[in-house]
Amino acid sequence: MKKLLLFSFILAFTIPSKINAQRKKSKNKKTTQSLSKTKKSKKPKYADFVKKETKTDDGIFKVHESDNKYMYEIPKTFLGKEMLLVTRIKDIPAGLGGGYVNAGSKINTQVIVWEEFKNKILLKVKSYNAIANDSLPIYKSVKANNLEPVIYAFDIKTQNKDSTAILVDVTKFFSTDVKAITGLPSYFRKRYKVRRLDASRSFINSIKSYPKNIEVVQDFTFDADAPPSNSRSNTITIRVNQSMILLPEDKMMSRIYDKRVGYFSIGNVDYSSEALKADSKRYIKRWRLEPKDINAYNRGELVEPIKPIVYYLDPATPNKLKKHIKQGVDDWQKVFETAGFKNAIMAKYAPTKEEDPEFSMEDIRYSSIRYVASTTRNATGPSVSDPRTGEIIESDIIWYHNHLRSYRNRYLLETGAANPSARTLDTPAEDIGEMMRMVISHEVGHALGLPHNMAASYAYPVDSLRSGKFTQKMGIAATIMDYARYNYIAQPGDKNIRFIRQLGPYDHYSINWGYRKVPLAKTPEQETATLNKWITDKADNPIYRFGDQRFDPSSQTEGIGNDQIKASTYGIKNLKIVAKNLPDWTSNQTNNYDDLSELYGELLSVWSRYIGHVTGNIGGVYEFNKKPNQPGNIYTPVTKTKQKEALQWLQKNAFETQNWLLNKSILSNIKESGYTERILALQNRQLYTLLNTDRLKRMIDAEVVQDDFYAVSDMIRDLRSGIFSEAKYIKNVDVFRRNLQKSFIDRLATLFNSKELKNTDINAVIRGELAMMDFQLTLAKTKRVNRITKYHYRDCLAKVKKY
C-alpha cells in the first residue's frame, strides 16, 4: 500500500512536468517558427514603399512620394554615370549678399556619381583637376592620389520587382544641413552669425523628375543672430533649387584655349603626357553647336544647328521691355552666321501653365533671362558647363530691376553735352530700349563663353568717335564685351553720332574662332594649326585684339578711344557743360533735389573714371599676347614722353582744385557738409593709384628693358613739385589743396615704412623727397601768406620731420 501511494505521488509530479515540458517545447517551437516567419516578413518589399496612394513622378529616376517621404528609384544602369549637381538659390530674403545675390544665383556646381557599396548607395563628388587616360598605368596613381569624397551614404531600402533599380530614401539628405549642397555657404553663415538649421522649419518643397534631370526645391530656415532683413526674427529662410542632370556620354570635342582670343576656360593637369612633366591643359567654354547638314556646312553654306541655343524670358518681365530683351538675344544670330550657323540662337517667351504645366525657370534643361525685383543696379550672364569638356549646358542671364536707372543717369552725364535726347530724367523710351537691348547682348556674350575684352575700345582712333559715319557703322568699340557703354567723346555740334554701344567686328571674329567647325579635325590638337592661322591672319589689326584689364593702359574698363589723354580731355570738356546745366535738367524740372543729389554724386564718379584712364599710363605696360613666331615683344612699357604728359595732365585736371565741380547752387541744396572730404577721397584714389607698390616696382623694372624710361625718382619729384606748387610762390593754399598735400606726405610715409619696399630704390627716393620737402616747407612758412596757410605749412613740416 505504501509503495502504491509513493508511486502515485511521484506520478502526480512527473506527468504535469512532462506535459508542461511538452507544452513549453511546443510553445518554443511555435515561437521560433513565428520569429522565423516575422524575420522573413521583415525584409522590405517594393510594395512596402510604393503603394497605391504613393505619388510617382517618372523621369531619369522615378521619384516616389508618400507620407512626406521621398524615395529615389535609381536604375542600376545609372550607377557610376557622371552627373552634374547644380545648387542655386530659388528665392531669397531681402538684402542677402548686399543686393548682389538674387533668385537664380548659382551657389555650387559639382560632378557626382551614384555608386553601390555593400548595402549602401554612396553619393560621390568627382574632380577633373587631374586626369589620365584610363588605359595607361599612371591612371591608377591618379585615382589613388585624388580620392573622391563621399558626401552622403544612403541605406538601400529594397529593389524594384525585376531587380533593375534600387530604392533609397532621400528625405533626410534634402531636409538636413548637408554642407556640400547648402544654399548658405560659410561666408554667409559667418556674416549673418548663423547658429544652426531649424529642422522643424525646414522641409522639401518638391522633387520633380524629367528625362535627363531631377529638380529639387528645398526650404531651409536657419537661426541667425544677424540676418540681412527682419532682424528681430533672428531667422533666415532661403529656398534652394538642386538640379541634377545627366552629363552626355558622347562628350563634346573640346577646343584648346588660346589667350590671344578671349574665352572663359576650364583647366586640368593631364598625366597622360609623354613629356617629362604633367601637361596643364585649358579648354574654352562654349555651347555644343552641330550642323544639321555637315556637308553643306563644309561647302560654306549657312546651316541650322541640330540644337540651337534658346533663352526663355521670365514671365515676370514687364511687357514694355520684352521686345528689347528678345532683340538683345536675337542680335547674336548675325554673329553666328559668321561661324556658318543660321538661327543658332534665339529668345522665346516662356510657355504659360496651360501650354506647359511642367515648365520651370529652375529646370536646368531651360536657359532663361530672369527679371529680378531688386534695387541692385546690375546684370549678369552666368552659365553652367561640363567640367570635362567645357561644354556649356545651360545659363541664366539675370537682369536687376533698377539697372536701367544707372544707364539713364550715365546717358545724361556722359552724352548730355552733345546729345539733346539725354538731357532729361525722362529718357525717350526708344533710347532706354536700345540701352537694355545692348546690356542683354553683353550678358548673352558672357553666357556664350566670352569674358570682358577691355582692349577693344582702344582699337578706334579718338577722333573717329566724333564721326557719324564711323560710329553708326562701327559703334564705339570693336566688341559689345568691352565696358564701353556710351560715346562721351563726341562734342556739341557733331552730327549723326551713335552714342550707345553695339555688337562689333571682334564679336564676329571671336565667335567664329570658338564655334566654327574645323573640317576633318578629330581631336583638339588637330585643330590648333587652323585656329592659330585664324589669329595670325588678323594679328596686326587692333580690332581683333583681346586684352585683360590689369596693368595695361590700353585695356581699361569704361574707356574709349586709343588716346586716354585726348579722350579724357574731350570727356571733361563735356562734363563741365553737364555740371553747369545739371539743376536745369533735374531739380528745376521735378521741384525735388533727390535726383540732383544722386546725379551730382555720379558726376563725380564719371570725372574720377576719366582721370583714372590717364593715371593708367604712368608705370603702365602694354601687353600684346603673341606666339614666338610672331614679331615683336609681349610686354612694352609706356614711353617716358607719354608718362610725363599724363602726369602733367593729372596735375591740371585732378590735383588742382576743380572749381567747376563746386557749384554752390548744387552743394548748398544736396547736403549740409562733407564736400571737402568727398573731393579728397576722389583725389586720393588717383594719388594712391600712382603711388601703388606694384606700379612703382614696374617703373623700377622698366630700367632693365627700356632705354628712355620714366624713373620712379623723376615721377615722385614731378608729383611733389606739382602738388606743392604753391610753396614756390607767395600764394595761399585752399582747403582742398591743404588736404591733398597732407595726404601726399602720409602716403609717402606709408611707403617708407613698408617692409615690402625696404630694400628697393623707392625707400631711397622717398627719403630724398622728404628731405626736399623739409627744405621747401621751411622756406614757405616764412612767406607772406594767410594764417591758415602758415599753420598748414608748419603742420606739414612737423609730419615730414616725424618721418
Q: For 101-105, 119-123, 131-135, 454-458, which range has the lowest pLDDT when averaged over its residues?
A: 131-135
As a whole number of angstroms, the distance between CA 501 and CA 434 comes to: 9
- The residue among 371, 402, 433 that closes a domain is 402
Question: Is 203 inside any structural domain?
Answer: yes
Q: What is the pLDDT of residue 754?
A: 87
Say which residue, 758 or 138, is predicted with more confidence. Answer: 758
Among residues 226, 246, 266, the one where a domain terminates is 246
- Position 377 scores a pLDDT of 72
Residue 257 has pLDDT above 50, yes or no: yes
Pair 2, 83 in one domain: no
Q: 702-706, 757-761, 774-778, 785-789: lowest mean pLDDT where?
A: 757-761
Q: Tell me the pLDDT band of 287, cut-offs 50, 70 and 90.
A: very high
Which residues, in sequence order, are CB contacts of 415 under 8 Å at separation 6+? Answer: 422, 486, 487, 488, 490, 499, 574
- 6, pLDDT greater than 50: no
In a domain, 238, yes or no: yes
Residue 70 and residue 39 in one domain: no
The verdict on residue 448 lying in a domain is: no
Same-domain check for residues 124 and 28: no
223/333 same-domain check: no
What's the total number of domains in the chain? Answer: 3
Give percent of the chain above pLDDT 90: 70
- Would you say the C-alpha torsion 58, 59, 61, 63 has a positive or negative sign? negative
Cβ pair 479, 453 in contact under 8 A: yes
527 pLDDT tier (thresholds 50, 70, 90): very high
Q: Examine the domain organization and report whether 31 and 160 are in the same domain.
A: no
Instruction: Inform me whether the pLDDT recorded for 539 exceeds 80.
Output: yes
Pair (9, 117) in one structural domain: no
Closest alpha carbon to 442 in 388, 387, 498, 397: 397
Residue 28's pLDDT is 54
Positive or negative: CA dihedral 43, 48, 49, 50: positive
Task: Looking at the structure, tell me whether residues 22 and 85 fall in a common domain.
Answer: no
> Taking 80 as the threshold, does the pLDDT of residue 15 lie above it?
no
Residues 332 and 183 in one domain: no
Looking at the structure, do residues 36 and 65 belong to the same domain, yes or no?
Answer: no
* Type of residue at 788: I
Is 133 or 75 the better-scoring residue by pLDDT? 75
DSSP assignment letter at 27 = H
**The pTM is what?**
0.87
C-alpha cell at 509: 571674329
Model pLDDT for residues 563-574, shown as the tens digit of each residue: 999 999 999 999
212 falls within a domain: yes
Let me know whether 83 and 214 are in one domain.
Answer: yes
What's the CA gap between 629 and 610, in Å, rounded? 37
Q: Are residues 24 and 147 in the same domain?
A: no
Cα–Cα dist 122/378, whole Å: 40
Residues contacting residue 554 through CB under 8 Å, at least 6 positions apart: 455, 458, 547, 562, 622
Beta bridge partners of 379: 399
Residue 146: the pLDDT is 58
Q: pLDDT tier at 277 (50, 70, 90 boundaries)?
A: low
Mean pLDDT across the chain: 89
**pLDDT tens-digit profile of 628-648?**
999 999 999 999 999 999 999
Tell me whether residue 94 is in a domain: yes
pLDDT digits (tens, 9 = 90+) for 446-482: 999 999 999 999 999 999 999 999 999 999 999 999 9
In which domain, by residue range, is 154 found? 49-246
Q: Across residues 736-755, what is the average pLDDT?
A: 94
| pLDDT, tens digit (0-9, with 9 covering 90-100), for 210-223 | 888 999 999 999 99
Residue 34 and residue 72 share a domain = no
Within a domain: 696: no
- Banded model confidence at residue 10, pLDDT cuts 50, 70, 90: very low
- Neighbouring residues of 207: CB distance < 8 A, sequence distance ≥ 6: 57, 63, 65, 70, 170, 174, 214, 215, 216, 217
Is residue 371 domain-resident?
yes
Distance (Å, whole) CA 333 – CA 631: 35
- pLDDT value of position 2: 47
Is the pLDDT at 14 greater than 60, yes or no? no
Pick from 402, 426, 461: which residue ends a domain? 402
Residue 555: inside a domain:
no
Mean pLDDT value of segment 712-732 = 95
Task: List pLDDT tens digits, range 397-437.
Answer: 888 777 888 889 999 999 999 999 999 999 999 999 999 99
Residue pointed to by grid coordinates 592620389? 145
The pLDDT of residue 269 is 64
Nearest alpha carbon to residue 222 among 183, 279, 266, 253 = 183
